[in-house]
Amino acid sequence: MSDPIQSIQWRPPKRRRRKDEARALRRRFLLLRGVIMIAFLVLAVQLWRLQVVEGQQYRAKAEENRLRLDTIRAPRGVIYDRNRSPLVRNVASFTVGVVPAALPKQQREEIIARAAALLGMPPEQIISKLEEAKGRQDPFTAVPIKRNIDRTTAFTIEEQHDRFPGVVVAAAPIRQYPFGPTLSHVLGYVGHISAEEYATLKDEGYRLNDEVGKAGVETTFESYLHGRPGSEIIEVDATERKVGTVDSFAPVPGKNLVLSIDAELQKHVMEYLQEGSGSSPFNAAVVLDPRTGEVLALVSLPSFDNNLFSGGIAQQDLDRLINDPRRPLFNYAIGGMQAPGSTFKVITAAAALQEKVVTPQTRIQANGQIQVRSEYDPRIAWVFRDWSVLGSLDLYRGIAMSSNVYFFYLGGGYEGFQGLGIDRLAAYAHRFGIGEPTNIDIPGEAIGLMPDPSWKRENKGEDWTVGDTYNSSIGQGDDLATPLQMANVAAAIANGGTLYKPQIVREIVDEKGQIIRPFEPQILQNVGVSPENLREVQRGMLEGVRTGIAKGAAVPGFELAGKTGTAEFGGIDPRTGQQYTHGWFIGYAPYDDPRFAVAVFQYDGGGGQTAVPVAQKILAYALNNVKN
C-alpha cells in the first residue's frame, strides 16, 4: 500500500508579512492624523466663530452676568406745616431682599430657613413673597423680604454673606412722622405698591419694590412727592452683592408740601377734644380760615400712629386697628355723617330770610310744642316738641335760644304761617354744601344727605309729610352732615356767603425751596343769600354766645358767634331716661373780622353743651396764639 497524501498550508515569507503590517500601521496613523487635523480645524473654525463672528454677543453676555442696572429710588418729598415745621421726614433704614437668580437651587430651602430664623419670620412667608414675585419681575431684581430691620441684623447678613448667598441688604429711607397720631388722618402713610397700583403706575417709572402713598396727603399728592428715580450700573459678585459702580444717573427728588395746617393748633385741638370726650367713642373737630378755605386743624378721634406703617406694619398691629370697633383708621372729620341737629338751624334761618318767609322782627310764640293732625288719619295728632317753653321770640332770640318751635314755623309752617317747604329748604341746604362734596384734598370724604320727597319715595317707599319738613328744618330726621361740612357752613356765614373748597395743601415747593404751585383759594359756589340777610343770622349767633345757650363758648377779650346742636339718635339712654344725643357746636371768631371757623362733634356726647367747652378752648387758643 502506498502512503496517504498529506496537505501542506502555504505561508508567506516572514519578511513580506512584516511589510504588510507596517503598511497597515502607517495607514492607521495617517487616518488618525487626519482626524486630529480635522478636529483641530473644526475647533479653529468654532473658535473663530466665537471670537470673531459672535464675539461681541458673548462679551455682552459675560458683562450681563457681571453688571446690573439698578434703580436709585428718589428721595420722597418732605411735608411741612404752614410755619415750615417738618411734619414728615425720611430716615435711613435697611431692607433685606432675596435675588431669586442668585439663590442656589440645592441650598434654597436651607438658606431660606437660615434667613427666616435671623429675621424672626416663618420660612413660608419668604417663600410666599418669592412666589408672588415670579413672572412680575426679572430674577436678578431683589424681592423685598423684610423692611426696617435693625442695624445689627443687616451687618450680620453682610458679614456672613457666604452663609446667605442670594440674600442682600439695601439701604432704603422710610417715612417718620414726628407728630404720630396727632396728624395721621391728615398726612396718611405710605406702603408697598400693590399689583393694581403697579399696573397703573409702571409706565411712570415705578417698580414693584416701590413705596406709594396709601392715605391722606401722602396718596393725594403721590405724583409730586414720589420724584423721578435714577439708575446706576453696578458690578456684582457671584452672590449678587454689589462690589462696585460703573456709572450712575442721579434721581430727581420729590417735591415738598407746605400744608395749611398749624401743627401747634392741631396738637391743642386734639388735646382739648380728648379731654372733653368723656365716654364718647369718637369725636371730630375742624378749624378753617373762612377767608380762604384753608384747613388750619382737622382732628378725628380715635386716631392711630402712622409710624406703624413705616417699613411695613406688623400683622398684629394691623389686626388690632382693623378689629377696633371705634374704627381708628376712619376719618370721622370728613367721612362721619351724622344728624347736624340745631346747628342746621342757621341754614333754615338764612333761607327763610332770603325767601322773605320771616324778618328779624317776626315774633313766634314758642310754648314748648306744636301738634299736627295726621294727613291720613285726623284722629291722630303728632306732637313736635321744643326743648323748653321759651315764650315769644324774634329771629335773633330764636337762634340764640335754639327754639325748635320757631324753626318748625320757618321750615314747615303752622296755623296759617307759611313756611319754606321742603323744596326750598333742601335747595338752600345744597347751596350751603349739605349733600355735596367739599372736594377737600384728602380721600375719604362723605357728602352727607339732604332728604326730599323723591329721596324718601325712592329709599323708603313712603310719601313726604309736613312732619318730615319739621324734622329737616332743625337738622333731624334723615339730615346728615360731616363735621367738615358744618365747619364750612359756619365759614360761609362768617365771610358773607362764599363756600370755599377746604384745602389742606397750601403750597408745593421744589428741593431748592422755590414755590412751583402757590396757594389759590377756590370758590365752590355762593350760598345764594344776601350779605344783609346773613348779617341777621350772624347777629343771632352772636346773641347765642352773649346771652343764649352758647354763652359757654365766650372768650374774654373777643366777640364770637356760635350755634349749638343736640342731635337725637337711636333709642333711650338708660343713664338719663332720654333719647341718645350727639353734641355739636359751630361758630367763628372774631365776630367783626372772622379768622377762624370751627365745628366740634361728639358722638353720644350728651348734647350741644358738652361740645361748647371744647370749642371755647379751641377758639381761645387760636385767637391768642395763631397768626393767620
Query: CA-CA distance, 419 to 473, in Å (whole number)?
Result: 10
Query: CA-CA distance, 469 to 463, in Å (whole number)?
Result: 12
Share of the chain above pLDDT 70, in %: 87
Q: How many domains does the chain have?
A: 3
Instruction: Mark whether 446 and 360 lie in a shared domain.
Output: yes
Instruction: Mark whether 81 and 117 lie in a shared domain.
Output: no
Predicted confidence at residue 61, as pLDDT, reads: 46
| Residue 433 lies inside a defined structural domain of this protein | yes
| Residue 53 lies inside a defined structural domain of this protein | no
Residue 114's domain spans which residues? 93-172
Instruction: Mark whether 617 and 474 lie in a shared domain.
Output: yes
Instruction: Mark whether 350 and 457 lie in a shared domain.
Output: yes
| Residue 22 lies inside a defined structural domain of this protein | no
Query: Is pLDDT at 459 greater than 90 in this prediction?
Result: yes
Instruction: Mark whether 154 and 252 lie in a shared domain.
Output: no
Instruction: Mark whether 361 and 478 lie in a shared domain.
Output: yes
Query: Is pLDDT at 493 greater than 70 in this prediction?
Result: yes
For residue range 119-147, list pLDDT tens digits in order.
888 989 888 888 887 766 677 778 888 88
Backbone angles phi, psi at 207, to 5 degrees: -115, 165
Q: Where among 259, 277, 312 does a domain terminate?
A: 259
| Residue 5 lies inside a defined structural domain of this protein | no
For 472, counting Cβ atoms within 10 Å of its Cβ (0-12 exposed, 13-18 middle, 19+ buried), the class is buried
| Residue 422 lies inside a defined structural domain of this protein | yes
Query: Is pLDDT at 50 greater than 60 in this prediction?
Result: no
Predicted confidence at residue 58, as pLDDT, reads: 47
Query: CA-CA distance, 44 to 41, in Å (whole number)?
Result: 5
Instruction: Mark whether 285 and 383 lie in a shared domain.
Output: yes
| Residue 48 lies inside a defined structural domain of this protein | no
Instruction: Mark whether 130 and 241 lie in a shared domain.
Output: no
Instruction: Mark whether 314 and 329 lie in a shared domain.
Output: yes
Query: Is pLDDT at 511 greater than 90 in this prediction?
Result: no
CATH number at residue 69: 3.90.1310.10
Predicted confidence at residue 355, as pLDDT, reads: 98
Phi-psi map region of 364: left, alpha, beta (phi>0 left; psi -120 to 50 alpha): beta
Confidence of residue 240 (pLDDT cuts 50, 70, 90): low
For residue range 354-392, list pLDDT tens digits in order.
999 999 999 999 999 999 987 777 888 889 999 999 999
Predicted confidence at residue 262, as pLDDT, reads: 98
Three-class DSSP labels, 200-220: HHHHHCCCCCCEEECCHHHHH
Query: CA-CA distance, 343 to 607, in Å (whole number)?
Result: 12
Q: Give the mean pLDDT of 58-76.
A: 63
Q: Where among 207, 236, 259 does a domain terminate?
A: 259
Omega of the bond prior to 590 within 30 degrees of 0, cis?
A: yes
Q: Give the mean pLDDT of 557-569.
A: 93
Q: Give the mean pLDDT of 97-114.
A: 86
CATH number at residue 343: 3.40.710.10
Q: Which residue has the higher pLDDT, 4 or 467?
A: 467
Are 267 and 182 in contact by the 8 Å Cβ rule? The answer is yes
Three-class DSSP labels, 419-457: CCCHHHHHHHHHHCCCCCCCCCCCCCCCCCECCCHHHHH
Confidence of residue 612 (pLDDT cuts 50, 70, 90): very high
pTM for this model (two decimals): 0.84
Instruction: Mark whether 80 and 191 lie in a shared domain.
Output: yes
Query: Is pLDDT at 62 greater than 60 in this prediction?
Result: no
Predicted confidence at residue 421, as pLDDT, reads: 97
Instruction: Mark whether 83 and 190 lie in a shared domain.
Output: yes
Predicted confidence at residue 68, as pLDDT, reads: 66
Instruction: Mark whether 189 and 168 lie in a shared domain.
Output: no
